[in-house]
Amino acid sequence: MKNGTLLFGCLLLALHAAAVESMRPAGAADGDDPQVIAGFQAIFTCGARFNAARPLAAILREELADVAPQLPRPLVIADAGIVTTRTPQGQERIAAWRPGMGCTLLPPGATRSDVVNLPFVMQPHPGFDPTLTEWPQGDLMDPPAPHDALDKVVTAAFDPGIQEGEPFTIGVVVVADDRIVAERYRDGFDPWSGYRTWSTAKSFTQALVGTLVQSGALQLDAPAPIPEWQHVDDPRVGITLRHLLQMSSGLASEGANSNAVYFGGQDVLSAATTTELEHAPGEHFRYANNDTLLLLRAIRHVLDDDLAYLRLPNSALFHPLGMTSTVMETDHRGNFIGSSQVYTTARDLARFGLLYLHDGNFDGRRILPEGWAELARTRAPAHEPQELPGGGFMGYGHHFWRFEGVPGVPDGTYTTAGHKGQFSTVVPSKGVVIVRTGIDPDGTRWDQASFVARVLAALEADEP
């Protein structure tokens, strides 16, 4: 590794030793594991408190509503940027925030004194003041003009009484002709207070891969540059970046169960790089967080520079788009958890959607290769589309989802999709981006397809 190693490389040994007990095959763990529950408490409290400046009472009521109520109340040490929680057995879990890096969950057995050992680099300045810069890169804009039909649809998104399962909408942003035409937030949130993206982060990772394909550092159909696999006769060398983008690596996996990485404190590499091949690459679809984490492993390897790696999301993607309220967080060894652990806002998700609406161009600058947006919405060959309750199907593309044959939704529409209702949906044929964020209770599901149809119908009704 190059210059970034000097910042933290020699400090990771103590934390790695503490993490050994948290290593699980494929990074999977029981969601009822006390270490997982306490870790969930710690990382969510940390993110909401320090990334989004939310008060603890609101965090307990909303972000932590699904966590076992018998756990002790989290302790927020504001001056230090630390949150601690305890398992019922009294074991302490710690999450720590650093400027520009967001929150990191320390492994079981780590102490508060280990926080200084976490990877940290100063992030680059975005080079502009969002308050003085016009939309879309900045926040300077005229308020949206009234749109009677559209305003009714957006208002209804915040009314749990008329939405099945009482989902909890945080924010809605609708962009048409590159302008925000509707925007609303739940009480306690605003355009600069965000929430965890969950799997919408996967689409951000897809974009980061695109920036390195654009520069020539990565090739889609070459063997994925995962150094742990580069051995004689290792069958995993047949896995390409395209396979990983299609969730078709063929690797053994627990799918979406990455509790040990997300909330247990396991590092990304011990989870994602140690599984064996179960199916020939490209022949079997499995929605697997590890495929996304392996894309980030490939990025870190080809950059061979920890400083460049830890600055990449901001320097190559977020800052050029004006996504200054977005942060991609790492594990305790400096690996991005870019399958879920990103904090962002509805406006930033709208900016991200605009990047794809314009085929990788943003405000006159090419960020992604020509055709990268088309790749995002191209169906993964091994995936069988899922039927939606309201009609039509949802199929998998390349780290985005596709709406297929949905009533009122044009063909070619595609979307990010994150747990608890995080969506940035791109409608190329209409020049529209539709964002919805939420904290939906477990067991409920926001129907983004029907919401998109209602928004599009309202936009058409509001036309003079």
What domains are there in the chain, each with its CATH number?
5-117 (no CATH), 131-194+345-462 (3.40.710.10)
Name, in order, each residue with C-beta under 8 angstroms of 220's C-beta and a sequence gap of 6 or more.
Answer: 213, 240, 241, 242, 245
Phi, then psi, of 251 in degrees rounded to 5: -75, 150
pLDDT < 70: residue spans in the chain = 1-22, 161-166
CB count in 10 Å sphere of residue 395: 18
pLDDT of 5 reads 40
Rounded to an integer, what distance in angstroms lies between the CA atom of residue 91 and that of residue 188? 32
Which tokens in the block code for residue 280? 């020939």
pLDDT of 88 reads 87
Token pair 């199916």 is at which residue? 279
pTM of the model: 0.95
pLDDT of 441 reads 87
pLDDT of 21 reads 52
